[in-house]
Amino acid sequence: MENIINHQYIDRKTGKVKTERLFKDSIINFFYSTVRENADFCFNLIVSGRSTSLLSYLNFDFAFRSNREKAQKFINELNINLEECILSPEKFMTARQVFERQIQYWKYRPMPNDKNINYDEINGYLFINSDLYQSQNQSNTIVDDGIVVSPSDSKVLVGSLRKSQQFFIKEKFFQYSELLEKEELLKIFQNGDFAIFRLTPDEYHYNHTPVSGKVVDFYEIRGQFHSCNPYAVVQEVTPYSKNDRVVTVIDTDVDGGTQIGMVAMVEVTAMMIGRVEQCYSHNYYESPRKMTPEMYLRKGQPKSLFRPGSSTVILLFEEGKIKFSDDIVKNMSRTDADSRFTIGFGSPLVETSVRVREEIGIGSNIF
């Protein structure tokens, strides 16, 4: 097996280079080098749906068997902060419970303009600019600020589908013509921009809505379950358009919307991630709902859950509708970080760590 280097990214808060501790890295590298090259049938079996379910059970359920001591060791190894969680630390008995944890996002993951918002944790009310607003109210109660937020705790790369742009990285992570499958949607986002959010096992695994708007389409695309480990992504050409995935298309040009045109949110499964559970809630995590057309989504709210492991979210924007945050764009070309993407694709391509509900861009009509 070839020599595998570390994978580094930029910590957004400090601007410093950090080395990622990759979960089951040696096993993934073995699958995508020795097995992939010498046993094609076995490799295809490994990335199948049945195998990913079995691997998930063995790693996240069977290995722990509701053992608090093993769960705590796992928590310590991944350096997970349980103080953010709704459940008390002693309630976590398996790796699956850790991966699927719910956090006090209103407290620990505030949105950019949340300084004007206070939360009544008992009654579930939001106080916005001193006006009482109950969180179940309709979309036109709040005027959106035009900011796009991260859908997840993750490492992010941004890019363009236009060859004239500096960060044209089309066809490296996904084949655009395969990603959405529907011709009418491919036309809408043609020459647009995108952001790729790679979640790792230590991170909070709920996805939140990156924009406010109305659901115009929602569907699933069946596929394989390739790993989203950086080495695996480099070895397997355009894996994100081959994997099982869920597509939600949001029209933000509605009352109370972010006013940034159409946005596609593609939730991509991965090895040991068997499914994405849709569980949108207007109020904390209460009364979760499945995605349906005409449904209004408010920015920053819980939308779905990856069960469990590491996985990826892709956001697609129409051409010229978004300006990505400067630090994320600049960090991509840094040469002081050893990124597996940089080596694999032959040019600087460095991720930045972001937290769910944190600003990653703003509508082009704002600046």
Residue 8 included in any domain: no
Q: Is the dihedral of CA 155, 340, 338, 329 positive or negative?
A: negative
Residue 296 included in any domain: yes
Question: Would you say residue 41 has pLDDT above 50?
Answer: no
What is the model's pLDDT at position 115? 58
List pLDDT tens digits, range 272-292.
Answer: 555 789 999 999 999 999 999
Domain boundary among 99, 131, 166: 99
Give the number of other CB atoms < 10 A from CB of residue 291: 20
Question: Would you say residue 137 has pLDDT above 90?
Answer: no
Residue 133 included in any domain: no
151 and 245, same domain (yes or no): yes
Using alpha carbons, list the distances in angstroms from residue 275 to 69, 176, 278, 352.
28, 22, 10, 26
What is the model's pLDDT at position 169? 56
283 and 349, same domain (yes or no): yes
Residue 285 included in any domain: yes
349 and 216, same domain (yes or no): yes
What is the span of the domain harbouring residue 151? Answer: 143-363
Count of the separate structural domains present in the chain = 2
69 and 170, same domain (yes or no): no
180 and 276, same domain (yes or no): yes
What is the model's pLDDT at position 97? 82
| E strand segments, 173-224 | 193-199, 206-208, 213-221
List pLDDT tens digits, range 307-364.
Answer: 765 688 999 999 999 999 999 999 999 999 988 888 777 788 999 999 999 999 999 8
